[in-house]
Structure 1
Amino acid sequence: MPRKALQRGRVVVLASPDRDSAHHESVTQRHLAREAAALLGYAYGGVHEGGPLDWPSYAVPQRTLLVDEALALGIHSDADLLGGVVPHAFVAGKAITHGLVAREAAAPAGWAYELARGLDGAVLDGYSAFSREDARIAARRLLARGPVRLKAASACGGRGQAVCATFDAFEAALATITAGDLDVLGIVVERDLVDARTYSIGTIRVGASRISYFGHQRGAVDHLGRTVYGGSDLVAVRGDFDALSTVGMPVVAAAALAKAIHYDAAVAAAYPAFYASRRNYDVVHGRDADGLPHIGVLEQSWRIGGASAAELLALRAFAADPHLACVRVSTHEEYAGGAPPEGATVYFTDRSGRFGGLVKYARTHGDGYPA
């Protein structure tokens, strides 16, 4: 079917019928699409109803797309969307961060066995597994050196995880993983760290503008008493990852940047069909059970995420001031908190109480460093 030509470009939201999205995620997605439209000088076109996108269009999907899905929509490069495109569903999840327990271990079609070698030195000790028996092998190996963290490869926002100090605890956590999730997307079993801090390293492109940033995440306690993602504090500059060298990063943040660059390059080499306009990496620094320090990439995000509202605020700030070299921005996800500060960009307010009084907002803190 030929693509219809538009007089003015349009930014559209791609709904994800296969993903159980919370209402606040959908509201956030629409906010980000409107922000992208303003940056591009396009109109906001609402939710795309299916079929090839009209041209010129810019898509904001909620999840990472598969190559075939992108092609059917008319998406061919990172200039066409705010997000990423991968050749297999598992590539978008946490499982690619680690290798398997053995060459003959269960693995999905398309698994890049060489990636584990490519990521050596960029990630923590750990394994990915696509069967319960392989997961048990991974746990036995790692528990000999201290507690492990089990993570569903598809989980986000700090959910779908369990720290296990014993094999019995691991078995109980493993029992909560469904067969469908395990077989298709896998799970991660990795060394758990204490006194940990998670750094956010990323780069994003919208139109002709690209920024890169570093910062750290904050935790929050949600209405169910769970520790979840609470926001990000970021320092952003114009350009790609290399531009961050002009900021004078703290030593640990600079090490986190090096790990993220290593990870990004290794994945691109292992899966050449992958591309993304947003590349965000969570890098953890902490101590193991023996008190030794470790730093490594936990996971990637090539779709809109918790920091995206701050990323777009930074792009807006750079667009408004051609002389601006560095800007500090943040996102906040607060439960049953007070009113957001004056000047904040509020993009979700839970007036129903269904999400524990969740308020989501972003802020610009001015130019300069530190955050």
Structure 2
Amino acid sequence: MPAPSAQSTRPASQSGTRHDPGGCVLELLRRTSRSEHEAATGRWVGERLATLLGFRYAGLYSPENAVCGPIYLIPDRTLLVDEARALGIATARDLLGGVVPHDFVGTKAITHPLLDDARAIPPGWSHGLARAIADVTLPGWSAFDLDDAAQAGRALLAQGLPVRIKPGDVMGGHGQSVAKNEKELDVAIAGLDRAAIGRAGVVLELNLKPVKTYSVGVLEVGPHRMAYFGTQRLVQNHEGAAVYGGSSLACLRGGLDELTHALSEEAERRVLQCAMRYDEEVQRAYPQVFASRRNYDVALGVDPSGMPRCGVLEQSWRIGGATPAELLALEAMHLDNRLQRIQVSTHEVYDIVDPPLGAQVSFRGDDPAAGRMTKYAIVDTQDDPHGR
């Protein structure tokens, strides 16, 4: 899909009031394909964002419908700087998502270092970033070569650590596996796509069990800004694999700094500190990065020796599984400027079910790729008008 020149688009940040009735919200597709439930959720998000911004939802991006006035884009993946510039995206106010200088910066791969003798090192790689965030991530390595990946996995196994293998750009827990010995590691490595690993990398890191995964993030849309802290849950898909099943989020007005005053448990504060350090160090290593949605998955669990471990698993600077719930929170705060806190959740059920009263359904049906599925978001609780 060809991109227009910057002159042919008029992003929201460059064209006056955010509530210009000529403005529109457009979905920007950059992945090779998406499932029916992803497409339905994309439309749902686009329509809600349009209402929130006072724009209209205009469907999928094309040069023809990108001349409607102020434009707000929803990319299905993190954009590159050159892509963003060609589309007229200048700041985080122009999109729901993020912009990065290199493909790998938007993937899981930046979370860990490369081997000292790595065969493949992508241009622009920051060796300093991995050192700076070593104490807020789990033990692990990233690789852009299958031989490097095998060597990294063996290094972890030699320490008595089970290895989780995660392709760099696969979402929602799909495509991951765990190896407890070299035979299982070899099978997992053999199943990886060499070209995809060369482009987006693969992560090999300590697999925690038991583990609890937290979501920490910030969402900014127009004048609205909200931070959240919550937990994820896993469900089984129709193939029996454990995949993302939704998030429960406690949201408040403001940014990550405001969250520090809202958390009282030591473990939760440690999770938040990990996410904030990761966010700060990435910005330091790659100052070209900007994003309106900055989400960090943080694991808290124990290793095989019983030692507690806490570390950021990955970042997400794009539309994600929790986005529908995040938007419900922003909508509520927009409608009541006294509202300071709200709890929301998103649910992905691999069956056709009747959602609870008040739920906002983004998909309910039989997806040709994912099977029977129901996806919804709901407001769980909110403060009274005085913010208590």
Shorter chain as denominator, the TM-score bin is over 0.9
How far did 1:199 drift? Answer: 0.2
Q: Deviations over 1:280-328 (max 9, x none)?
A: 0000011111111100000000000000001000000111111111000
Corresponding residue pairs, total: 368
Structure 2 gap ranges (5+): 11-19
Match of 1:202 among 217, 236, 246: 217
Paired position in structure 1 for 2:89? 75
TM-score, with length taken from structure 2: 0.91
**Are positions 1:230 and 2:245 aligned together?**
yes
Q: How does 1:27-38 map to 2 (within 5 A)?
A: 27-38=40-51
Paired position in structure 2 for 1:87? 101
Query: Aligned to 2:63, what secondary structure does the other structure show?
Result: coil
Distance (Å, rounded) in 1 between the aligned partners of 2:143 and 2:269: 31
How far did 1:140 drift? Answer: 1.7
TM-score, with length taken from structure 1: 0.95
Paired position in structure 2 for 1:143? 157
How far did 1:79 drift? Answer: 0.5
Query: Aligned to 1:194, what secondary structure does the other structure show?
Result: coil
Query: Aligned to 1:210, what secondary structure does the other structure show?
Result: strand
Decide whether the 8 Å contact of 2:247 with 2:322 is kept in 1.
Answer: yes
AA of the residue aligned to 2:75: P
Q: How does 1:242-281 map to 2 (within 5 A)?
A: 242-281=257-296
C-alpha change, 1:270 and 1:103, in structure 2 (3 Å) is farther
Decide whether the 8 Å contact of 1:62 with 1:303 is kept in 2.
Answer: yes
Distance (Å, rounded) in 2 between the aligned partners of 1:209 and 1:186: 34
Q: Deviations over 1:102-148 (max 9, x none)?
A: 15541111111111112121100000011122112211211122211
Paired position in structure 1 for 2:33? 20
Paired position in structure 2 for 1:357? 372
Distance (Å, rounded) in 2 between the aligned partners of 1:282 and 1:169: 26
How far did 1:192 drift? Answer: 0.9
Paired position in structure 2 for 1:308? 323
C-alpha change, 1:52 and 1:128, in structure 2 (3 Å) is farther
Query: Aligned to 1:261, what secondary structure does the other structure show?
Result: helix
Query: Aligned to 2:311, what secondary structure does the other structure show?
Result: strand
RMSD: 1.8
C-alpha change, 1:116 and 1:52, in structure 2 (3 Å) is farther
Paired position in structure 2 for 1:43? 56
How far did 1:349 drift? Answer: 0.9
Decide whether the 8 Å contact of 2:118 with 2:148 is kept in 1.
Answer: no
Distance (Å, rounded) in 2 between the aligned partners of 1:263 and 1:242: 14
Which of 215-224 and 238-247 deviates more?
238-247
Distance (Å, rounded) in 1 between the aligned partners of 2:257 and 2:234: 28
**Are positions 1:112 and 2:126 aligned together?**
yes
How far did 1:211 drift? Answer: 0.2
Query: Aligned to 2:342, what secondary structure does the other structure show?
Result: strand
Distance (Å, rounded) in 1 between the aligned partners of 2:118 and 2:162: 26
Distance (Å, rounded) in 2 between the aligned partners of 1:125 and 1:235: 29
Which of 329-338 and 305-314 deviates more?
329-338
Structure 1 gap ranges (5+): none
Match of 2:184 among 165, 169, 176: 169
**Are positions 1:340 and 2:355 aligned together?**
yes
Paired position in structure 1 for 2:17? none
Decide whether the 8 Å contact of 1:53 with 1:74 is kept in 2.
Answer: no
Paired position in structure 1 for 2:16? none
C-alpha change, 1:63 and 1:282, in structure 2 (3 Å) is same
AA of the residue aligned to 2:157: L
Paired position in structure 2 for 1:133? 147
Which of 221-230 and 300-309 deviates more?
221-230
How far did 1:49 drift? Answer: 1.0
C-alpha change, 1:194 and 1:4, in structure 2 (3 Å) is closer
Distance (Å, rounded) in 2 between the aligned partners of 1:183 and 1:241: 34
